Each structure stands twice: as C-alpha cells, then as structure tokens.
Structure 1
Amino acid sequence: MGTPATTTARPAPARRSRPAPPPRLRTPRRRRGGSPARPRRSVLLTALSALVVLYTLVPLAWLVISATKTQSGLAGSFGLWFDGDFAFFGNIADTFTYDDGVFTRWLLNTLLYVVLGAGGATFLAVLGGYALAKFDFPGRRGVFAVVIGAVAVPGTALAVPTFLMFSEMGLTNTPWAVIIPSLISPFGLYLMWVFATEAIPAELMEAARVDGAGEIRTFFQVCLPLLAPGTVTVLLFTMVQTWNNYFLPLIMIKDPDWYPLTLGLKSWNDQASTAGGEPVFHLVITGSLLTIVPLVAAFLLLQRFWQSGLAAGSVKQ
C-alpha cells in the first residue's frame, strides 16, 4: 500500500479590522423658551449693560439738546426734547464772547495745565516704569510698596497739605500750583511698570548693548517705540484727570484769569443761581458741552493705541 498524501491546512485569511466609528457628538438639548447654548445669566448681563449705557447716554443727550435752547427755552420746554427756537450756534458765539471772551482764557489755561501737567506726568511715568521694570537695584521692593500705597491714597486727601507747602514757597495763585502736583501720577507709574515688564524682551536690550548702544540710545530708539501703546494709555488717563481737575485749582487759585474750565463754569453757574444774577445758565450748558469735545476727540483719535495697550500681556506667545 502507498503512503497517503498529506494535505497542509492553509491558514484562514486575517480579517481586516474596520476603524472604530468616531464618537457621536451629543447635541445639546434645546431649552424651553430659549436657545440651546445661551445661559440665562447672559440676559441679565445684557439688561445691566443696557442700564449702564442708558445711564451714560441720557445726561449726554440732555446736554446736547439743552445746548440748542435759549435761556427762556430751558425753563419752558421739556428737558429731553428740542425747543422751537434753535439757538445752538448763537449759544456758542455768546459763550466765547461773554465777559470779554473769558471762556477762551479758561480754555487756554486748561490746555496749558494738560500739556505741561499731563504730558510731564506721562513722561515721568514712562521713565520710572521702564527703570523699575528692567533694572534691578537695592530697595526695588520698597519702591513698589510706596507706589502701591500712593495709588491707594486719593488726591483730595493730599490737597490741603499740598496747599500749605505751596503757600510756604509762595507758589499759590500761580499756574505752577496746578502743574507741579499734576506731574505725579502713581497709577500711571504702576501701569507703565507692568506694561514695560511684558512689552520689552530682555534679549532685545542685550542685543542693543552688544551692538554698542548705550542705555539712553537703547531706551529712546529700541524700547520707547515698544512702549507706545502703554504711553498713550497713561497719557489718556492723566489728560482726563488734569482736564477734569476741580478741587486742586479751587484751593490753589483765586485769580479768575488763571481759572481752568472747571472753575470758570462753576463761577458762571454760581452767578446764574444767585438771586438777581445775570441769567447765563444756557452759557454754562453750552460751555460744558464744548468742554467735553476735546476729550471725546482725543479718545477717538487714540482709541486703537489705547485698546492695544490694555490688551498687551493678555495673550502668551
């Protein structure tokens, strides 16, 4: 007998494993009476924001509408609607020509205080913030504590000691009594300190020093352009603070020729409120509207620098 033929069993072909289906995303259930992803608190935040906007715009609308009325129209018409007699341009002309054009004098005084006071405060804040952020020296933490403490102290608390000090030096009733205190801005110094810490890389300063640039040249040509957004932000804050300054000029200046706009309009308002005084309340309203126009224009022109300055350091690269 022959040997039986041996058959080798072939292995079964391996089955290809199919990829697992992607997990199905669970669609959020639609809430009753609202959108699926909108929390209820957003409605409350929207309502609160609307109240804040209304609270801000209603006085401004009243000011604009009232500036178009005459003295008699202010008393005989609804406050939030126009009068039949449109006197806006006449009120502007009367504001600049009343009392030998003293409003123009007050406007120039305010510009002087802002240019020297706010401009000087911004420049000193940039220098101080840059030095505190990029240089290590003994007593740095103590300076930080002093700056934080100065931010917490309101300016009105220092007005009387400042008046006593300036009266001893004979500087009261002069523009220097307003300009010199305006040069100090603890909040601006702190803001520039924080901004310079994040905006100026240490490697960039080292590269400038290796190329032979001194500290002054490094600051003005390399670092100062990087500090432009923060500088504009500090400038806006100090400008608004100096422009609206009332209490410090009130105790420092007695000569009406050196009044800023805040004191000048207050004197007109007191004159209109006094029994038997000349009715100039329509000039007070028109002057108040003209006073806020430069601030609004400054914010609109420098808005992009201000927004970038506030957003600096919020995103890490």
Structure 2
Amino acid sequence: MRARRSVTLTALTGLVLVYALLPLVWLVVNATKTQEGLFDSFGLWFAGDFHLGGNIADTFAYDHGIFGRWLLNTLLYVVAGAGGATLLAALAGYGLAKFDFPGRGGVFAVVIGAVAVPGTALAVPTFLMFSQLGLANTPWAIIVPSLVSPFGLYLMWTFARDAVPDELLESARVDGASEARTFFSVALPLLGPGTVTVLLFNVVATWNNYFLPLIMLKDPDWYPLTLGLSTWNQQAITAGGDVVFNLVITGSLLTIVPLIAAFLLLQRYWRSGLTAGSVKE
C-alpha cells in the first residue's frame, strides 16, 4: 500500500529544515568576508571579495597562533573526557543490566535523579571542590567532570538489557572466558549502536562545553574553543580591544567542522538488530 503524502507535514518539515540550516548558511557565507565586508554586504549573500582562505590563515595566526592551542585543548578534553565517559557508561550500563546485586534499584534511582539535575547547578560546588584539591585552572578540572555522564549510563543500561542476550554470556562463560573478555569480546560489539550514540552525545556536550571552562579556567592557554572564541568576541566591547568579528565567525565555522565529520563517519554504526538470529529460540 502506497503511503499517503501530507502537504502540511511536508511544509512543516521544510520550515524546520530552513530553521536548522539558516544559521549554518549564514556562518559559511560570512566566513568568506573581510571585517569591512561583514557590514557592507547582505548577511545571507557573498561579498565581492572572497576571503575565506585569508580568514582561515588569519584565525590560526592571530595572537601568536592561540587558536591552534585552543583546538588541541578541545581535542584533549573530548578524547579524555568524552571517550572516558563513554567507556565508563558502557561498563556500568552493562554491569547494571546483566548482574543482579543488592542495591541495584537504589542505583537506578540515583542515576535517574542525576539525569534530572542540570549541569549548571553542579558547576559552583564542583569548582569549590576542585579549588580545594588544587586542580582548578588545570585540564583535570574539565576532564574529570566530563567523565560523569548519567544520561549515557542510563542509555547504555536500557540498551544493554535487550541488545546482549543472556544466553551468549552464559555460552562465553561456559567456554572459560573471563568476565572482562566476555564484555570486550562478546558484549561490546553488540553494544556498538548504543555506544556510538552515547559517544556522539558526549562528544557534542564536551566540544560545546562553555560554562564549566568559564568558571574553572583562568589561563587562556588551557581554554577550549568555545571560551576562546568568546574572549575574541568580547574584545569588541573592551576599551582598546581588537574588533575581529571575521575571525570569530571563521573560527566558529572551523569549530563545527570536526563535529560534522564525526557524525558523518559514525552514522554508519547506527544500526539496529545486530543480535537478530544470534540466539535460537
């Protein structure tokens, strides 16, 4: 039977698509303009001088190349923080889903409660704790809090409960596999779609993290891209500061390119039904 087409739904989908893509189009178009061209031309169309290459070079060269340092800092926070959070979420979610132990219901309640607490509410207590430990204004002040992902843990818990058949685990144990080998060799491949989903959530959250670095870091050498570009933008309202809106826009465009690449590279792992036919009923 042929599916019915809804004109209203198509129109609403088109509006949502325009709403989502319009900021990206604006960013791409204005990254090709000079500082003067930003104010002398229409915002949604190119100026006479295509200056994208020059803007990229100026962005990496400005202020002794600090943008490159911010990029490396962000990659460090993402690899250590988001990667570690994903691994911990997979381990904990698998353990909660496949092992029965006293207090599991209490752990579930704590995880649900942690999901409901916004990260900004914990920022100040986290800052005070890290200050007392002497870890403020260091990369650890960003990496360690990023390792905690209640939503990722909950997602992996619910996914592992159905994605990993108990019969496969029992077969591995009967064959003499240790619990660590059972997890990494049997369970983890089956948890691929859920793990990739949690990884992308954590990568985006860590890459776009602004408030935590704002209160934790004072040294610009440890800034991530979000905080660094914000300082460039604020120079325009600072007495004697450089107005570099073209570099802020170009830097913002360069900032989202790795995220787009990550989605394109990892989307092929979003497959369901990996366990179909693995267990004979």
* TM-score normalised to structure 2 length: 0.94
Count of aligned pairs between the two proteins: 277
Q: Deviations over 1:200-243 (max 9, x none)?
A: 11111111111111211111111111111111111110000000
Q: Find out whether 1:237 has 2:204 as its counterpart.
A: no
Could you tell me how far apart the structure 2 residues matched to 1:207 and 1:266 are?
A: 54
Deviation at 1:37, TM superposition (A): 7.1
- In the other structure, the counterpart of 2:117 is 153
Q: Does 1:210 align with 2:174?
A: yes
In the alignment, which residue of structure 2 is the partner of 1:308? Answer: 271
Corresponding residue to 1:187 among 128, 151, 156: 151
What CA distance in whole angstroms lies between the structure 1 residues aligned with 2:184 and 2:58?
46
How far is the alpha carbon of 1:273 from its aligned partner?
3.4
> Is contact 1:198-1:313 (8 Å) kept?
no
Letter of the 1:81 partner, please give it: W
Alignment correspondent of 1:278 = 242
Question: 1:312: how far off?
Answer: 7.5
Equivalent position to 2:70, from 106, 114, 118: 106
Q: Please state if 1:123 is matched with 2:87.
A: yes
CA contact (8 A) 1:195 1:312 kept: no
Structure 2 unaligned segments of length 5 or more: list them.
none
Residue by residue, what CA displacement relative to the aligned partner does 1:255-287 show, whole Å, maximum 9, x if unpaired?
Answer: 101000000000000012335421211000000
- CA-atom RMSD, angstroms? 1.9
Matched with 1:141 is 105
Q: CA deviation at 1:123?
A: 0.6
Pick aligned residue for 2:43 from 79, 92, 99:
79
2-structure distance, mates of 1:118, 1:212:
33
Q: For residue 97 of structure 1, what is the amino acid of its counterpart?
A: A
Question: Counterpart in 2 of 1:3?
Answer: none
Asked if the contact 2:81–2:144 (Cα under 8 Å) also holds between the matched residues in 1, the reply is yes
CA spacing shift, 1:270–1:312, aligned 2, 3 Å: farther
1:227 maps to what in 2?
191
Structure 2: distance between partners of 1:255 and 1:249: 10
Is 1:176 the counterpart of 2:140? The answer is yes
Whether the 8 Å CA contact 2:190–2:274 is kept in 1: the answer is no
Which stretch shows the higher mean deviation, 50-59 or 292-301?
A: 50-59
Q: Is the 8 A contact 1:150 1:186 kept in 2?
A: yes
| Cα pair 1:173 1:252 within 8 Å, conserved | yes
More helix by share: 2
2:258 corresponds to? 294
Identity %: 76
Letter in 1 for 2:74: T
Assess, with a 3 A threshold, how the Cα gap between structure 1 residues 37 and 255 changes in structure 2: closer, same or farther.
closer
Paired position in structure 1 for 2:210:
246
Q: Which runs of 5+ in 1 are unaligned?
A: 1-35
Instruction: Tell whether the 8 Å contact from 2:164 to 2:275 is kept in structure 1 after alignment.
Output: no
Deviations 1:84-111 (A, max 9, x none): 0110000000000011100000000000
The one of the two structures with greater contact order (alpha-carbon pairs below 8 A, sep at least 6) is 2
- Quick one: which amino acid aligns to residue 121 of structure 1? A
CA contact 1:96–1:103 (8 Å) conserved in 2: yes
